[in-house]
């Protein structure tokens, strides 16, 4: 089956999880919630994709904002969403949940006639099922006649195509109508109907995975060994029992006299924050080994490692590790009872889960505040003219992107003092977007929002990159350098906490001498303070020696850096062309973030009333397009 394009198709629940942010509170008292991808099947598909499997989802979502969120999150995570159907009548399922303590996780399922429970037989394409090495079905989707029929059809298609069938028992009594709606956290209720339904499908399964309680419901006994023996009578599937902190036990053949006589893989001792989703993480990890032909021992180790990482974090899907992160954790697992506090593991999680790739960036920077205020004052023009001008610049960028096919390569840098409406125009599209936080010209750097910078940027859209300009020289007095580093480190911590990327712009003061090592020494100062910007914005190095020092600093301290974009400093376009030619040869040279060289002349003439909107847009677009052409040429000498 190696030639099949997909490792895994996951069929079942795809929803939105709203996790309460006040840990230790009753759900009644929680006041804010974080929105994550949710649903057993969706979590597994997402987690397995992060671990490098080619995965796809077969489900339904609503024709609304939450449905689009689910689809977008899956796609951003690398999951094939061609099998995600849009239901025009039903809403995407929601779950509201909280973490009261390590044993109490109140949750409410909002799944009354939801989209994924309307999945039908017509949604199952035999060719799609046959394109995968394995099909995963989940117990919840056997709880209603329609989803039961769809799941059984998918299983028949899999058997006919030689696709292996995996059952995640996924037992939630409330979703079978066995508890009140307020008992969403209840994990076990005896039900002969559920047992009969599950036992009717296990003969076609190659792998069955569940907690001890889930094995009980599937096997029809509260005695784990008796339940396993009943499943073995009905199926030759490999049986995996998830045992929480004890790890897991696997039975590939006959069931022995003791649970511990199976193939047991010990768990990892971690402090539990949130067990919700740990089983989905285990399944993603286990399948990342099992579907690649790894041994059961290795597959169990992957599963247990993923489960340990996820129980220590908030949420499920976003907490799923990547393969690089999992490997790093497994190397040190015995020494990490609190992996969520380990700087290296956290950093790996941050940098290896970035969802959007930006191999090249052509950024039109018009976050200028002081310069445009000075220009308006010089021209005796009301400052109220600046915001409309910034909308014209945004319009010019959008025209270039649309007409020149620049989606995924173009960006903007816009402030929220004069550029709020321009930001609103471009947010949610294909542009890379950054916003400044520094007080213009401040040295040491200060933030416009004050020192509680995390609270300020938490309100920003997740796609917005935080940009901070620091006027810094490595030969500054020690006290000044310490003040600057303290501020930038505060900002970096805020970006980590709010999951925003950070761009640090470095400009050595013009009054101080510079050489080939000046900028790289600034970067090394920040790296020494454990500040790791996702992006650097730097003055264009004028020779290869300067570039070599800069690139060496990144290679030795942060190989996961997104790269460098070059600022313009109002240089004439011919001068920038020469600088780009050198930058295009560098590994970390990713593009430019230029502003006044592109828009300054148009700004002056428009503010003065010498040209109209269309002329300003045309001039800016022409200059921007020219600079893009120069950068593109530098990549293909």
Q: Dump pLDDT digits (tens) for 283-307.
A: 999 999 999 999 999 999 999 999 9
Question: What's the CA gap between 498 and 481, in Å, rounded?
Answer: 26
Angle between helices 386-404 and 613-635 (to 10 degrees): 50
Mean pLDDT confidence for 139-154: 97
Mean pLDDT confidence for 536-549: 95
pLDDT tens, residue by residue, 438-461 = 999 999 999 999 989 999 999 999
104: which strand partners?
Answer: 101
Strand segments (E) across 304-360: none
Asked if residues 224 and 215 have their Cβ atoms less than 8 Å apart, the reply is: yes
How many residues does the structure list for the chain?
637
Please report, for the chain, the start and end positions of each structural domain, with discontinuous segments joined by +: 7-352, 361-635
pLDDT tens, residue by residue, 401-421 = 999 999 999 999 999 999 999
Q: What is the CATH number of domain 361-635?
A: 3.20.20.70
Asked if residues 21 and 33 have their Cβ atoms less than 8 Å apart, the reply is: yes
Asked if residues 317 and 73 have their Cβ atoms less than 8 Å apart, the reply is: yes
Question: What's the CA gap between 554 and 524, in Å, rounded?
Answer: 8
Please determine, for residue 573, whether its predicted confidence score (pLDDT) is greater than 80. no
Half-sphere exposure at residue 636, Cβ-oriented, CA atoms within 13 angstroms: 6
pLDDT tens, residue by residue, 498-529 = 999 999 999 999 999 999 999 999 999 999 99
State the chain's mean pLDDT as an integer: 95
Tell me the pLDDT band of 633, cut-offs 50, 70 and 90: confident
Mean pLDDT confidence for 258-287: 91
Tell me the pLDDT band of 345, cut-offs 50, 70 and 90: very high
Question: Can you read off the two tokens belonging to residue 367?
Answer: 């976050």
Q: Which helix (H) or strand (E) holds 581?
A: helix 573-583
What pLDDT shows up at residue 270? 87
What pLDDT shows up at residue 399? 97
pLDDT tens, residue by residue, 29-77 = 999 999 999 999 999 999 999 999 999 999 999 999 999 999 999 999 9
Phi and psi for 310 in degrees, rounded to 5?
A: -70, -35
Mean pLDDT confidence for 324-340: 94
Please determine, for residue 181, whether its predicted confidence score (pLDDT) is greater than 90. no
What pLDDT shows up at residue 274? 79
Cβ-based burial of 581 (10 A; exposed 0-12, middle 13-18, buried ≥19)? middle
What pLDDT shows up at residue 637? 54
Please determine, for residue 425, whether its predicted confidence score (pLDDT) is greater than 80. yes
pTM comes to 0.94
What pLDDT shows up at residue 1? 46
Of the candidate CATH numbers 3.40.366.10, 3.40.1190.20, 3.65.10.10, 3.40.640.10, the domain formed by 7-352 belongs to 3.40.1190.20
pLDDT tens, residue by residue, 96-139 = 999 888 778 888 999 999 999 999 999 999 999 999 999 999 99
What pLDDT shows up at residue 636? 63
pLDDT tens, residue by residue, 77-100 = 999 999 999 999 999 999 999 988
Helices (H), 405-477: 420-426, 453-458
Mean pLDDT confidence for 333-351: 94
Phi and psi for 391 in degrees, rounded to 5?
A: -65, -35
Same topology, domains 7-352 and 361-635? Answer is no
Instruction: Using alpha carbons, list the distances in angstroms from residue 27 to 19, 33, 109, 191, 486.
Output: 10, 10, 13, 28, 37
Question: What's the CA gap between 434 and 411, in Å, rounded?
Answer: 8
């Amino acid at each position: 089956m190696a030639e099949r394009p997909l490792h895994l198709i996951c069929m079942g629940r795809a929803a939105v999880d709203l996790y309460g942010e006040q840990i230790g509170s009753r759900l009644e008292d929680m006041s804010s919630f974080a929105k994550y991808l949710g649903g057993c099947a969706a979590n597994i598909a997402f987690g397995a994709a992060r671990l490098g499997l080619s995965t796809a989802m077969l489900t339904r979502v609503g024709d609304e904002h939450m449905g689009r969120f689910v689809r977008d999150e899956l796609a951003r995570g690398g999951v094939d969403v061609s099998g995600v159907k849009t239901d025009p009548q039903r809403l995407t399922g929601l779950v509201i949940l909280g973490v009261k303590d390590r044993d109490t996780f109140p949750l409410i399922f909002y799944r009354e006639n939801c989209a994924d429970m309307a999945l039908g037989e017509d949604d199952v394409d035999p060719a799609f099922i046959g394109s995968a090495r394995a099909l995963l079905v989940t117990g919840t989707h056997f709880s209603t006649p329609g989803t039961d029929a769809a799941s059984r059809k998918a299983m028949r298609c899999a058997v006919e195509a030689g696709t292996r069938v995996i059952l995640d028992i996924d037992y939630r009594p409330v979703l079978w109508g066995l508890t009140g709606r307020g008992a969403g956290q209840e994990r076990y209720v005896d039900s002969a109907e559920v047992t009969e339904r599950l036992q009717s499908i296990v003969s076609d399964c190659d792998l069955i995975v569940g907690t001890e309680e889930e094995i009980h419901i599937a096997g029809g006994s509260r005695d784990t060994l008796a339940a396993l023996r009943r499943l073995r009578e009905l199926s030759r599937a490999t049986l995996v029992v998830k045992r929480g902190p004890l790890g897991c036990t696997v039975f590939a053949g006959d069931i022995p006299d003791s649970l511990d006589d199976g193939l047991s893989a010990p768990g990892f001792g971690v402090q539990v924050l949130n067990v919700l989703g740990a089983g989905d993480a285990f399944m993603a990890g286990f399948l990342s080994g099992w579907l690649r032909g790894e041994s059961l021992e290795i597959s169990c180790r992957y599963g247990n490692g993923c489960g340990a990482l996820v129980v220590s974090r908030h949420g499920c899907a976003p907490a799923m590790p990547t393969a690089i992160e999992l490997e790093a954790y497994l190397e040190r697992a015995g020494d990490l009872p609190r992996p969520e506090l380990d700087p290296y593991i956290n950093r790996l999680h941050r940098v290896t889960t970035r969802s959007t790739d930006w191999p090249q960036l052509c950024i039109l920077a018009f976050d200028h505040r002081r310069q445009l205020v000075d220009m308006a004052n010089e021209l005796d023009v009301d400052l109220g003219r600046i915001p409309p001008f910034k909308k014209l610049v945004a319009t010019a960028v959008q025209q270039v992107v649309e007409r020149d096919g620049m989606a995924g390569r173009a960006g903007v840098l816009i402030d929220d003092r004069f550029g709020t409406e321009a930001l609103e125009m471009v947010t949610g599209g294909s542009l890379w977007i950054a916003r400044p936080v520094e007080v213009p010209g401040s040295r040491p750097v200060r933030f416009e929002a004050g020192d509680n910078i995390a609270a300020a940027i938490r309100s920003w859209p997740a796609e917005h990159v935080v940009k901070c300009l620091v006027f810094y020289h490595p030969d500054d007095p020690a006290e000044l350098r310490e003040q600057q580093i303290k501020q930038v480190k505060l900002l970096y911590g805020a970006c980590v906490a709010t999951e925003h990327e950070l761009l640090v712009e470095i400009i050595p003061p013009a009054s101080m001498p510079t050489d080939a090592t000046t900028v790289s020494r600034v970067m090394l100062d920040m790296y020494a303070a454990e500040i790791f910007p996702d992006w650097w914005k730097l003055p264009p190095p004028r020779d290869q020696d300067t570039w070599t020092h800069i690139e060496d600093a990144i290679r030795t301290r942060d190989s996961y850096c997104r790269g460098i974009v070059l600022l313009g400093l109002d240089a004439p376009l011919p001068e920038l062309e020469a600088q780009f030619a050198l930058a295009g040869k560098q590994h970390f040279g990713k593009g430019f973030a230029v502003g006044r060289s592109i828009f300054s002349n148009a700004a002056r003439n428009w503010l003065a009333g010498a040209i109209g909107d269309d002329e300003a847009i045309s001039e800016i677009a022409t200059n921007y397009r020219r600079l893009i052409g120069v950068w593109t040429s530098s990549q293909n000498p």
